[in-house]
Chain A
């Protein structure tokens, strides 16, 4: 199931996985903020940032195919949500799409929203592909997020994990008994499976929690990955920040 393999590039040795998770998280934020701050229609600058993201993906050894696939899902939502600006923003009509009129200002906003989203999503995809969830949580903790938040994030993750696992098991059991021939029957079955999985994973969550306690868990998910911030990572983060800043600022100056 895809959920388990989201961070499949976390175990690859790369300059990116060698940086501590908190540095990766900050880098992602820098790129996303830089992209969001770009002025409308700064296509060249968006391209520069996109190129930067591509370069980092290359370093992290996340294949282009995977990047495109993972960006495209959330991007579809952005496209859907931004379609309205095409018509709603007043401006010169560019063309007619049935009863509505697409304006030049609308097109500019729509294009800019997509461009920024591609950059930000690309950065986010690299982050989650190279960073396991427990490491992400530890990064949040390094940023001094309250312990309550990080701990519940960690527990929620674990519950989600057992939930997916339970669903897989129940599905397998259901399939092996060859039920769910028709589409309608399958839908009914899916609801049943979800409900059973939820109750079961709560019970199992409880037992797993005991197993964690038995092995010395005391409210913090430990991680095997290095968390000490080293000089190289800081230099990397600094370079990234300067590049993004320079790109964004120059976009305002050139206009």
Chain B
């Protein structure tokens, strides 16, 4: 069976000359759950933008469901790949939540009645029933995250691509989101700094560094390997002093501080 997503030698340089992606090859099978890890500026978001044709390959290629992603196929590709952006405020732009969630199905040509029914359904699934008429900017950070997810789930994509889904969430919101995503059966690609989330959601990890794949492999194995994590700057020990707090009372055990 062909891979659902096939990336070959992909490179992308932003117009200002920043080489954000530099020769990435990666395949994702149907049903895969892949975490994209890496320090800030590694190229995670840039890679994700290629998955549904918001950026087109400058060299190399991206293939989704057998279609090479080009200007011609991009609409078909976007039906299959749902992308949730890093910042939900960018994703929610209509006056009410219901309109925002119905936006995708309406663009696909669904009748208003059906689009609205679907939107109601998805909002209810995510625990947002009753907020249909509210404006996105009146929602809490966690609710916005869920709403942004709803705008994509409603179109029933085969692949869910999430950029930093747990950013700005509290422990409860984060747990809720993870549980919700665990129950879904879409193919999943998640860019995240949150290693626990990567472990909970994904069976495979791909580590990017400076636009290249530094390494990839089994989540359970890689994420337990402390020296690996440090080597790729995925965790950095805060240090003795930071852990104790720099201004609090000093430890009496330390003989130098008197």
Chain B interface, number of residues (Cβ within 8 angstroms): 34
* Residues of chain A with a CB closer than 8 A to B112's CB: 223-227
Selecting from A81-89, A157-165, A241-249, the interface stretch reads A157-165
Residues facing B in A199-255 (CB within 8 A) are 204, 207-208, 210-218, 222-227
B90 engages A204 (CB within 8 Å) = yes
With beta carbons under 8 angstroms apart, the residue of B99, B104, B135 that contacts A216 is B104
* Residues of chain A with a CB closer than 8 A to B137's CB: 165, 168
A216 engages B75 (CB within 8 Å) = yes
A214 engages B52 (CB within 8 Å) = yes
Interface flag for B83 (CB, 8 Å): yes
> Quick one: given A165-B137, A216-B75, A216-B79, are A211 and B95 in contact (CB under 8 Å)?
no
Residues facing B in A12-61 (CB within 8 A) are none
Cα(A11)–Cα(B97), bound, Å: 13
B107 engages A215 (CB within 8 Å) = yes
A204 engages B89 (CB within 8 Å) = yes
Cα(A222)–Cα(B154), bound, Å: 15
B95 engages A215 (CB within 8 Å) = no
* Residues of chain A with a CB closer than 8 A to B83's CB: 214
B103 engages A161 (CB within 8 Å) = no
B85 engages A215 (CB within 8 Å) = no
> Quick one: given A4-B135, A207-B87, are A224 and B75 in contact (CB under 8 Å)?
no
* Residues of chain B with a CB closer than 8 A to A226's CB: 112
Cα(A226)–Cα(B111), bound, Å: 9
Residues facing A in B112-156 (CB within 8 A) are 112, 115-116, 133, 135, 137, 151-152, 155
A213 engages B79 (CB within 8 Å) = no
> Quick one: given A11-B133, A224-B99, A224-B115, are A215 and B93 in contact (CB under 8 Å)?
no
B75, B83, B107 — most chain A CB neighbours (10 Å): B107
B96 engages A11 (CB within 8 Å) = yes
B107 engages A211 (CB within 8 Å) = no
Q: A215-B104, A215-B155, A216-B107 given. 14 additional CB < 8 A pairs? A: A161-B95, A162-B93, A211-B91, A212-B93, A214-B85, A215-B107, A216-B78, A216-B79, A216-B155, A222-B106, A222-B107, A223-B99, A223-B112, A224-B99
A-B contacts, 8 listed (Cβ < 8 Å): A11-B133, A158-B93, A204-B89, A210-B90, A211-B85, A214-B54, A214-B85, A223-B99
